Amino acid sequence: MGGTREARELADIVSGERGFEIVSSLAGRVREPVLPVGEVRVGGFGGVDGLREWLSGNGVEAVVDATHPFAGAITANAAAAALALGLPVLHLRRPAWQQRDGDHWVRVPDLAGAAKALTGMGDRVFLTIGRQGVAAFAESDAWFLIRAIDPPDGARPARHELLLARGPFTLTDETALLTDRRIEVMVTKDSGGALTEAKLEAARALALPVVVIDRPALPEGALSVETVAAAWDWLRGLR
């Protein structure tokens, strides 16, 4: 289950190994996705039942949920479908970002919490949560710089600029963007990983506050690892 850099890295490793066959699954959210090597299927399965049928119909022997830390629905479905079929399932979650000296973070549990927290924090907001969830900020009076790979669906704040861009982003570019747009506060998911971390470094350097949305919890009892190497060890251990 993919849609992340880690999933592509794992597909790279596994597809080169004798005795393993891998199929990567993408949701189909991004118009021009970066594809992993090997076999790829695209689109939803139709809930837990659809996923269960697909897994058994395709002779799948193990599931690695390497989806984004905020893709909570497919993670829950992967866990439930694998459990129903008695298949081993592993969740690969990159480590969360850690607050450092000089950071001014406000942690919130979800999108609604982020929209609420913004009140009084500044009029010019850098909203860097991807294209999903922008509607949670639609009622805000603030001005937003919204950055995403593809345009967001649904409602947007009345005053905004849409910037379509795909990471990775450099510290120099992020600092220039924040300065140029006179950003006063940033909103991000706690996605983790190096690809989009430069925005946090830029905010630190400019002493900007950052509203950080916490990750949804993994399903209860879920087996999880933080690195591609550990996921590969787990897969090899199944043989």
Report the nearest approach of ligand NAP to the CB of residue 26 (Å).
5
Site string for ligand NAP, 101-140 (x = CB under 6 A): -----------------------------x-x--------
Residue 8 CB, shortest distance to ligand NAP, in Å, is: 11
Cβ at position 18, least distance to ligand NAP in Å: 26
Residues 55-84 that bind ligand NAP (CB under 6 A): 67-68, 70-74, 77
Count CA atoms closer than 13 A to 204's CA, side-chain side: 12
Binding mask 28-57 for ligand NAP (x = CB under 6 A): -x--------------xxxx--xx------
**3-class DSSP assignment, residue 90:** strand
Residues 6+ apart with CB under 8 A from 181: 124, 126, 145, 161
Classify residue 67 as exposed, middle or buried by CB count within 10 Å of its CB (0-12, 13-18, 19+). buried
Under rule CB under 6 A, residue 169 binds ligand NAP: no
Would you count residue 152 as binding ligand NAP (CB under 6 A)?
no
Residues 6+ positions from 43 with CB-CB distance below 8 Å:
26, 27, 28
- Cα separation, 157 vs 148, in Å, equals 15
Cα radius of gyration rounded to whole Å, the chain: 19
Q: Is residue 26 a contact point for ligand NAP (CB under 6 A)? A: yes
Binding site for ligand NAP (CB under 6 A): 1-4, 25-27, 29, 44-47, 50-51, 67-68, 70-74, 77, 130, 132, 189
